[in-house]
Amino acid sequence: MTKRACGFVVFRRIRGMIEYLLMQVSYGEHHWTPPKGHVDPDESDMETALRETKEEAGLSASDLNIFENVKHELNYHVNGKPKVVVYWLAELLDPEKPIRLSDEHQAFKWLSLEEACAVAKYQDMQNALKNFNDYILKNLSCICDANVGDHDKMKNNNYCVDYTNVSLYVEYA
């Protein structure tokens, strides 16, 4: 029987940067993942993602802009048994909102894409983070300190802030 878990890759836009929320479990290998957990009987995937994110990080649906059509599925084995993990992309609306951990986690970090990939360790999780990051850069209104059209610099530095704060902006189609 395949185990199923669901959660959110939560990002925030702060000081002109995109940062991702990763949390370190307080058991086992103390690995780092976004908020997620097992799907309970009679629970939808989205209900699980919302419940686990509330329990593990203290974030409610009203704290998030959930991109329901932007998701990524991981498939791996735990103790020889298959596991599927579904993540949706979600933006934390108030980037200063405090994270409240449960006993299941011992630490959290807001990390750049590069840092998050290093901490997440697993290749499929890194791919998910990169795909979500590409979506953000292509679909959100962004600015950078480079010339308009300087895609590479913007992508490498992960610049992305609300264009209402600045005079120069680039919109990615």
Enumerate long-range contacts of 125-131, CB under 8 Å, 24 or more apart.
Answer: 125/33, 125/74, 127/72, 128/9, 128/72, 128/74, 128/87, 129/9, 129/20, 131/72
Q: Which of 12, 16, 31, 97 binds ligand B4P (CB under 6 A)?
A: 31
Contact status, residue 26 vs residue 43, Cβ threshold 8 Å:
no
- Across the strands, what pairs with 60? none
* String marking each residue 119-158 x if it binds ligand B4P according to CB under 6 A: ---x-xx---------------------------------
Q: Which of 12, 16, 24, 25 binds ligand B4P (CB under 6 A)?
A: 25
Q: Which of 17, 46, 70, 74 binds ligand B4P (CB under 6 A)?
A: 74
Quick check: helix, strand or coil at residue 122? coil
Burial of 65 (0-12, 13-18, 19+ CB in 10 A): exposed
Residue number with CB closer to ligand B4P (104 or 115): 104
Residue number with CB closer to ligand B4P (38 or 138): 38
Q: Which of 14, 38, 61, 114 binds ligand B4P (CB under 6 A)?
A: 38
Judged by the rule CB under 6 A, the positions of this chain that interact with ligand B4P are 5, 25, 27-29, 31, 33, 36-38, 74, 76, 78, 83, 104, 122, 124-125
